[in-house]
Amino acid sequence: MHIRGHGLTLADVVQVACDGSAVVEIAPDVPARLARSRALINAILAEGRIVYGVNTGFGKLSSVTISPTALTELQLNLVRSHACGVGVPLSEAETRAMMLLRANVLAQGTSGVRPVVLEQLVALLNARVHPVIPEKGSVGASGDLSPLAHLALVLIGEGEASFQGERLPGCIALARAGLRPLALEAKEGLALLNGTQAMSAVGGLALARLLELAELADIAGALSLDALHGTAAAFDARIHAARPHPGQITVARHLRTLLDGSAIMASHRDCPRVQDAYSLRCMPQVHGAARDVFHFAQHTLETEFNSATDNPLVFTDTGEVLSGGNFHGAPVALALDACAMAAATLGGIAERRIERLLNPDLSELPAFLSRQPGLQSGLMMAQVTAAALCNENMGLAHPASVGSLPTGAAKEDFVSMGMTAALKLRTVAENLAAILAIELLVATQALPFLRPLRTSPQLQQVEDFIHTLAPPLEGDTPLTPCIQAIQTRLPDILDVARNAVAGNSA
């Protein structure tokens, strides 16, 4: 894959982050662009002009002019002093995504770095030398300073890195990969630190997960609806054309396709019940609204992936170096906070469907799907676990982006907290995955009680696959292995459903 400073998609980021064979190359026109940008920085230094970040201190110390003989030391001190993160390291995938995003920003040619800086970063990525980056310590303005400083440390042969399964000092990791430490020149340390690449990496991978989970929510919901003798009447295309939110229309169509041909549904088509509970009837409205939020966030993040987030920015067409605030993470933070609320909503409506499946007053099924209610508790605790996960997501859905605390001696007096939003979203997404795994477990345990009637051919393939992971239960058993088996295989379950739908429509 080539990086050129534009055109990077969420799918590209996921591929480089998660595919061990992915190789990143610098587009042929990029080095010349960087050389022109660097030439302007060198000209400014030769003329003795004072430019923020080039020959001044940083933040509150921007009024301090730095001697030409100390410019290299200035950049080195910046990287070292800003490496102040705490907590567990980012995952390998998150680190790789962050490295790719920072490289794409440098490729734009507005940061004033030499081509060798970008080349070194790409070389680390391809050699799978992964900086150890503590996940906490960024307030999201001036960008993700601390996480990016930990990344930059390894470029210069300091800090720590993971290489071939070992956690090593940065200099040793570089040596084993056949790389040499980079010596930073004027502005290059700052160019590596300013930006939103940590929040965008963590949030982007969480969003990619949520886009899949949104589709799985429809599948789980369709299975639950059929097990509960629900009707697809509420998914009629005319209803949703009358309120044409894109996600709502998409989900209604998806549910109709999934349920098409269900013998269970055909068996009660003329029953007197005309409306289902909201958790069933309103899936297009609720699931669809969440999808629309996720797609808004995807547009926001892909814009950010291809944006210049350094400060100051170098404009070679006019010969100017301008200070601004493109490092501020507000666009990303707000989008990720919205995703957390949407994901918590998907988990909440799924938990209500789980309750309906297990509550005999609502389901027309045995209590807790137990073969011997009373003697056996059945799947009673599955709903309890789902409720606990929902409660955690409710708390995590509180937006981080409204919680600014001033930093940098009040020079940075309103910050985004975008990294906090990203870390929260990662947890919310994993909780949602577990909730949907529980719903898939419960729904597919319920359907055998309706035999000889069966669900649609499409959903039957999903049910059959899940039963290879969690066969119909004959008695009480620990449910954790069943839930974990399903959660681990959620991507495969999605593939089964997609292939079944494609086969049915062929």
pLDDT, tens digit, 9 for 90 and up, residues 333-364: 999 999 999 999 999 999 999 999 999 999 99
* Look-up of token digits 């009629």: 236
Question: 3-state class of 224 per DSSP?
Answer: helix
Q: Within 10 Å of residue 110's Cβ, how many Cβ atoms? A: 25
Is the predicted pLDDT of residue 273 greater than 80, yes or no? no
Measured distance CA(412)–CA(49) in Å, rounded: 25
Question: 3-state class of 264 per DSSP?
Answer: helix
Report residue 453: phi and psi, to 5°: -70, 145
Q: Within 10 Å of residue 56's Cβ, how many Cβ atoms? A: 15
Is the predicted pLDDT of residue 271 greater than 80, yes or no? no
Measured distance CA(23)–CA(1) in Å, rounded: 6
Residues known to be catalytic:
52
pTM summary value: 0.96
The answer to whether the CB of 144 falls within 8 A of the CB of 329 is yes
**pLDDT, position 334:** 98
Residues 248-261: b if buried by 16+ CB within 10 A, e if exposed: bbbbbebbbbbbbb
DSSP string covering 191-207: HHHSBSHHHHHHHHHHH
The answer to whether the CB of 36 falls within 8 A of the CB of 109 is yes
- Count of alpha carbons within 13 angstroms of residue 504, beta-carbon side: 19
Q: Within 10 Å of residue 465's Cβ, how many Cβ atoms? A: 19
Measured distance CA(285)–CA(281) in Å, rounded: 9
* Look-up of token digits 């680190």: 95
Q: Mean per-residue pLDDT for 158-170?
A: 97
User: Considering only the top CATH level, what class is 2-194?
Assistant: mainly alpha
Measured distance CA(51)–CA(248) in Å, rounded: 51
Q: Which residues have a Cβ under 8 Å from the Cβ of 428 and sit 6 or more positions away?
A: 206, 339, 340, 343, 344, 347, 393, 396, 397
Sorted by where each begins, the domain ranges of the chain are 2-194, 203-309+320-504
Q: Mean per-residue pLDDT for 28-35?
A: 96
Question: 3-state class of 77 per DSSP?
Answer: helix
Q: Mean per-residue pLDDT for 426-455?
A: 98
Percent of the chain scored above 90 by pLDDT?
Answer: 89
pLDDT bracket for residue 4 (50, 70, 90): very high
> ∠129-133-135 over CA atoms, to 5°?
145
- 465's enclosing H/E stretch is helix 457-469
Q: Which amino acid is residue 259, in one-letter code?
A: L
Residues facing 230 on adjacent strands: none
Instruction: Give me the CATH code for the 203-309+320-504 domain, please.
Output: 1.20.200.10
- 66's enclosing H/E stretch is none
pLDDT bracket for residue 506 (50, 70, 90): low
Nearest residue to 205 via CA among 288, 289, 306, 91: 91
**pLDDT, position 187:** 92
Mean pLDDT of the chain: 95
Residues facing 376 on adjacent strands: 373
Q: Mean per-residue pLDDT for 298-302?
A: 98
* Look-up of token digits 């980021």: 13
Q: Within 10 Å of residue 458's Cβ, how many Cβ atoms? A: 26
Q: Within 10 Å of residue 274's Cβ, how many Cβ atoms? A: 8
DSSP string covering 238-256: HHHHTS--HHHHHHHHHHH
For residue 165, count CB atoms less than 10 angstroms from its CB and return exposed for 0-12, middle for 13-18, buried for 19 or more.
exposed
pLDDT, tens digit, 9 for 90 and up, residues 176-206: 999 999 999 999 999 999 999 999 999 999 9
pLDDT, tens digit, 9 for 90 and up, residues 125-147: 999 999 999 999 999 988 899 99
- 394's enclosing H/E stretch is helix 380-396
Tell which wins on pLDDT, 269 or 228. Answer: 228
pLDDT, tens digit, 9 for 90 and up, residues 239-262: 999 999 999 999 999 999 999 999
Q: Mean per-residue pLDDT for 57-61?
A: 75
